[in-house]
Structure 1
Amino acid sequence: MSLHIRQKKNSSGTISIQIIDRTHRQYKVVETIACVKNDDEKRIYLEIAQKRLEELNKELYPTLFDTIKDDDKQNNLEFISLANRDVTPIGDELIYGKIFKYLGCDKIALDFQKMQLFKSLVISRILYPGSKLYLIDYLEYFKKEKIDKNRIYRFLDTIYQEEIKQQIEQCVFEHTKKIMQGAITVTFYDVTTLYFESESEDDLRRIGFSKEGKLARPQILLGLFTTLEGHPLSFELYEGNKYEGHTLVDILQKFQTRFHLKNKPIVVADRGMLTHANIAFLENNGYKYILAYKIKNIDNNLKERIANLTFLDNGTIHTIEIEKEIPYKDENDKKQILHIKQKLILSYSTKRAKKDKRTREKALEKIKAKLSKKNITKSDLKLSYYAKYLDIDDKCNIKYKLNPDRVMQDERLDGIKGFATNDFTLSANDVIAHYQNQYDVEKAFRISKTDLRIRPIYHRIEERIKAHVLISFVSYAVYKEFERRLKLGNVKFNFSQKLLRDIIKHMFALNVKGKFYTLSFDEIQQKVYDAINT
C-alpha cells in the first residue's frame, strides 16, 4: 500500500481533498478529507489531510515512525516518496559481521578493501550460499557497491597463503579455546570428500573413493579438527585419491606444532582412522584416543568372546580389556611390532540391531539373486557388503558359495557398537559420551556441504579451490558461534535455520539523504539481535 494526498477538481468547480492508495498503477480512495471552494479552505484542509496521512502511515508502518525522530522529518511528503532503493538490508553486518569481528578474523593481515571483500564472501556464504558471482549483484543492488568479477577472482588467487591460513586458524582456535574455558581437552577428527563438477584431474583434484557415491568425479579430501561440540579448530586439504586413514598423522602433527598445546588432547575419530599406523603413532607420541571399532571385522576369537556376552536391552554396556601386538612401519620405513593395551567398550541398541538386520537381509537378497543366475566372480565382489558371507571354492574356476555359519555369526553381533581407547581412566559412559558428540561434527560437515554449499566445487585453479574452502571454514566458524549465542540466550524457534536466515535478511535500515535509520525489529529479529549483542 502506498498512500498519497490528492486534490481532485470536480465539475462543479470545487476541489476534493482525498487520501488515496496508489498501488500497481491503480488508484483507490482511502478517505475524503473535505470538498473545498477556495484557497483558504484548501490550505486548512491540506494541513488536516497531512496529519491524517501521518496517522494512517503510523498504523501501516509503525516501526518506521517509531524509529525516526520528528525533527528528522522535514515533511510527510518526503517520506511518502521513499522507494525500495532507499531501504538497505543490514542483518548481514548487524548479526554475522558482528560475529566475524568477535572471532578476531578482522585482525588478519589484509588491507581494508581486501578485508571487506573477504568478510563479504564469508557472510554471503551463510546468507546467500551459491555462486560467488552472486555477491557482485547483491552488493550493487542492495549496498550500492560496484565490484568487478575479476577482482573477486584475483582475490581468490591470492588469499590462500599459508601465512593467511595460519592467522585465520589462529584466531578461530583462540576463540574456540576461550569458549572452552582455556583448555582443549578433547578433539574430534573427521574427513569428507568434496567433489567437482568437472571430469578433469590435476595434482589436487583426483578421482578416488567418494563417500557421496560420485563415481569418476575428481575430488579433494577435507580433514577437519573440531571440539566435540563441533567448534572448528583447524583443517587441511589433501589430494582426492589419498586414503583418509593416512591423513590423521599429518594433520595431528601440524595441529600440535602450530598451536603448541601444553597438554595433548584426547583424539576422537571414526573407524576409518583405526589403522595400525595411526594407533602406533598415537601410542608412540603420548596421545590418548577413542576410536570407533569395526566389531564385525575383527578376529574370530574376539568376535566369539563378544557374541557370548549378554545384551538384553538398550543401554547395555560391556567392557573388555584386550592386549595385542600390531605391525607398523616407523619413520625410516622399517617394520616394527608394538604391544598395546586397550579397553574395548561395547554398547547395544535395538534400533541399531534392526538396522543391521535390514542391511544383512538386503545383502543376502542380492547375493542369492546372483547365485541363482551365475557363479560369482571376483568382479562381483568390488565394494560388495555381502563378500564376507561367501566361501571360496577353487577346485576348477574361482567360484563362491554362501556360508550360513558366517551369516549366523554376523547376526549374533547385531546392534553392538564398539569403541577402543587407551585411556583407562575414562569410564565406559565417558567414552561413549565423548564419541557420541561426533554427531555435532558430522553436523558440521552437513552444514558446510548443504547450508553453506561447500560442494560441489566449480573452481578449476588450485588456489581458488583452497580459497573456497578457507572462506567456508570461516563461514562455519561464524555459523557455529551464531548457534552458540542463540543457545546461551535460550533463543529457540520452531522453524528451519533457512527461514531464520531469511528473517535476518529482512532487517532493514532507511536511507534518508545519506543518514541511516534502523527500522524497528519484529519480535524474532529482536531476540536474535539481543542474543548476539549480549
Structure 2
Amino acid sequence: MYVRKKKNRSGTISVVVVSKSSGRYKEIKCLGAVNTEDEAQSLCIEAQKWIHAHGGQQELDFDNNKDRELEETERVINNMDAVLINGTQLLLDRIYDDIGFSQIPDDILRHLIIARVSQPASKLATTEYLKSYYDEDIDLNNIYRYMDKLYNTQQELVQQISVDHTRKILGGKIGLMFYDVTTLYFETAKTDDLREPGFSKDGKTAESQAVLGILVSEGGYPLSYSLFNGSQYEGYTMIPMIDDFKQRFSLGKEFIIVADSGLMNNTNVNLLRQAGYKYIIGARIKSESAQVKKWILEQTHWENNCCHEYKRNYGERLILSYSATRAKKDAYNRERGIARLRKAYKSGKLTKQQVNKRGYNKFLEISKDVEVIISEEKIAQDCQWDGLKGYITNTDMEADKVIAEYNGLWVVERAFRISKGTLEMRPMFHFTERRIEAHVCICFVAYKVYKELERLIKEKKIPLSVDKVLDIAKTVTTIRVKMPENGRFYTKTLFLTDRHRAIQPLFDLIDQRK
C-alpha cells in the first residue's frame, strides 16, 4: 500500500491509500479532499499512520518520485494491447469515405483498396499484410467470393460514386473528358473470350492480353472504364464506351471529348459528329488531302508556338501549330534513324539476316540480295514537317486553348502508368472473366483514392509526392492500451519525427471529422 495524491477537476486535491495486485490498482481508503498543498501534506501524514496501524508496508509518495514514474510506465506497457503500423490505413480510410465508397457496405473492398494503394501485392500477400500491419483478419476465400460479388453487383455503383465525386470537385460538371486505351497482359498464353493475343503496349508478344479503355476528367480523375477482347482494334473501343458512359450516368452535352490521333479514323470522327459530341482530336496532317497539305507547307513564316487555322466541313477547324522544340526533336530522331539505316545497309544490299523474324516473316526466304538505297529526296520532304502538329475541333475555343486542352492527354497516360506500375494492375494472375473484371475494378477504385490523396496534398500545400507521403505514413504508429477498470481502450497515433509532422496536417483532417 502507498499514499497517493491526485488533482480533481474541481481543483481540489484528494489523498487516498492505494494498493496494487496483478497489475491492477485499487483504492483502499480516501482520507478526504482539500484545497491547498499544506492541507494535502497533513492528510498524507494521517494516511501513512493509517497504513502503519493496519499492518501495511508504507511506500513512497510516487507523485514526486522517480520510482512512481517507472511503475506507472510499466503499468501502461503491461496493459498495451497492440502496436499498429497503420498510418496509411488511417489516412486512406478517411479518403475512401470522403469520396463516397463507404456507400458500399462490404469492408472487404475497403481493406483491398487500402492494401492496393499502400502495398500492392497478390491477394494472398494482401491478407498477410492486413493482418501484420492493421490487425485485420481477412480470409483469402472470402476475398475471392467478394470479387465474384463485386463483379456481379457493385461495379456500376463504384463508377457512379467516382463520377459524382469528380463532378463535385470540378464544380458540378465534367468539362473535358480524355479517352485512351492500354493493354493488360497475363502470365499465360491461354486464350478465351476476353484473353487474346494482340498488339501489346507492354511489348509482351507471347502472352494473351485484354484491352482496357479508360475515361478520365481534367486533372486525371478516373470516371469510367471498360475491358475489351485482347485482339480488339483500339479505334473501335472509343465510341461504344463514350455512348455507354453518357447513357449510364445521364450526362448531357456538358463534356468535350479529347482523344489522340491514333484512336481516330474517318468512321470514328463521323460517329462523333453524328452524335452531336464536341471534340478535340489529334490530326494526321501527313494524311490530309493534297490541298490541305499544300496549305500546311505554305505556312512559311513560323514563330515558336504560333498557330494557323484551316476551316473544314461540318464546322470543324484544323489548327496547325509549330514548336521549335518539337522541330529539334523531330530532326534529332530522324538523324538517328537514318544513321542506323546507313550503318545497316552500307553495302547497298538487303540480306536475309536483315529481315526481322517477327510474325510470319520467319517463313520468308530471300534467294538473292535486294538492292536498297536511302532516298535523299524523301528525307528532304520529311524535313518540311518538322515541328508541325495538327488538331481538329468542332468547338469555338481559341486555338491556343484547344492546343492546351489536347496537351492534357498526358493525364490519361499518367493514369495508366500509375495503375499499371505503382498499383500493379498487371500482370494479372486471375483467369476467370468475373475475377479479371473485379481486379480491374479494385485497381480503378485504388487509383481514385490515390488521386484524391494527391489533391489533398496540394490543398494542404505539403511539398511531397503521393508516393513519398505514403512511404512516411507507413512508419506512423498507433498504440492501443487497455484500461482495466472500465474495460475500454485508449488509442494514440504518434508523430515522433520531423517527417511524421510534415504530413500530420493530413491526419488532422481525420480528427476534425470525428
Category of TM-score, reference length = shorter chain:
0.7 to 0.9
2:339 is the alignment partner of 1:365: yes
Find the counterpart in structure 2 of residue 134 from structure 1.
Answer: 125
What secondary structure sits across from 2:205 in the alignment? coil
What secondary structure sits across from 2:203 in the alignment? coil
**Equivalent-residue separation in structure 1 for 2:162 and 2:383 (angstroms):** 46
What secondary structure sits across from 2:312 in the alignment? strand
2:410 is the alignment partner of 1:420: no
1:319 touches 1:343 (CA, 8 Å); kept in 2? yes
**Equivalent-residue separation in structure 2 for 1:277 and 1:397 (angstroms):** 41
- Partner letter of residue 508 of structure 1? T
2:305 touches 2:324 (CA, 8 Å); kept in 1? no
Cα deviation, residue 89, structure 1: 3.0
- Deviation string, structure 1 residues 261-297 (Cα, Å, up to 9, x no partner): 1225211011122211110100111111111123344
> Which of 521-530 and 448-457 deviates more?
521-530
Cα deviation, residue 372, structure 1: 3.4
- Deviation string, structure 1 residues 326-384 (Cα, Å, up to 9, x no partner): xxxxxxxxxxxxxx45211122222222221222123223333443353379x95899x
TM normalised by structure 2 equals 0.78
Q: 2:211 aligns with which of 221, 225, 230?
A: 221
Find the counterpart in structure 1 of residue 247 from structure 2.
Answer: 257
Cα deviation, residue 41, structure 1: 11
**Equivalent-residue separation in structure 2 for 1:414 and 1:382 (angstroms):** 32
Find the counterpart in structure 1 of residue 109 from structure 2.
Answer: 118
Find the counterpart in structure 2 of residue 79 from structure 1.
Answer: 76
Find the counterpart in structure 2 of residue 294 from structure 1.
Answer: 284
- Partner letter of residue 302 of structure 1? V
Find the counterpart in structure 2 of residue 500 from structure 1.
Answer: 469
Find the counterpart in structure 2 of residue 49 from structure 1.
Answer: 66
Cα deviation, residue 86, structure 1: 2.0
Find the counterpart in structure 2 of residue 523 from structure 1.
Answer: 501
Unaligned stretches of 5+ in structure 1?
1-38, 54-73, 324-339, 384-395
What secondary structure sits across from 1:234 in the alignment? strand
**Equivalent-residue separation in structure 2 for 1:225 and 1:167 (angstroms):** 16
- Deviation string, structure 1 residues 288-324 (Cα, Å, up to 9, x no partner): 111112334444543332222136443222222234x
- Partner letter of residue 77 of structure 1? E
**Equivalent-residue separation in structure 1 for 2:135 and 2:457 (angstroms):** 31
Cα deviation, residue 452, structure 1: 1.0
- Deviation string, structure 1 residues 454-490 (Cα, Å, up to 9, x no partner): 1221222221111110001111111111111222222
**Equivalent-residue separation in structure 1 for 2:233 and 2:386 (angstroms):** 28
Q: 1:434 aligns with which of 380, 394, 405?
A: 405
- The structure having more radius of gyration, on CA atoms, is 2
Map 1:46-445 → 2, pairs under 5 A: 48-51=65-68, 53=70, 75-81=72-78, 86-108=82-104, 110=105, 115-161=106-152, 163-310=153-300, 312-323=302-313, 340-373=314-347, 374-375=349-350, 380=355, 401-423=373-395, 425-445=396-416
Number of residues paired by the alignment? Answer: 438
Where in structure 1 do 4 or more consecutive aligned residues deviate above 4 Å?
Answer: 39-47, 80-83, 379-383, 396-401, 531-534
Structure 1 residues 130 and 296, CA, compared in 2 at 3 Å: closer, same or farther? farther
2:84 touches 2:478 (CA, 8 Å); kept in 1? yes
- Identical aligned residues as a percent: 36
- Partner letter of residue 523 of structure 1? R
2:324 touches 2:387 (CA, 8 Å); kept in 1? yes
Cα deviation, residue 43, structure 1: 5.2
> Which of 115-124 and 344-353 deviates more?
344-353
Map 1:463-502 → 2, pairs under 5 A: 463-493=434-464, 496-502=465-471
**Equivalent-residue separation in structure 2 for 1:135 and 1:344 (angstroms):** 50
**Equivalent-residue separation in structure 2 for 1:380 and 1:290 (angstroms):** 39
**Equivalent-residue separation in structure 2 for 1:263 and 1:322 (angstroms):** 22
Structure 1 residues 376 and 282, CA, compared in 2 at 3 Å: closer, same or farther? farther
TM normalised by structure 1 equals 0.75
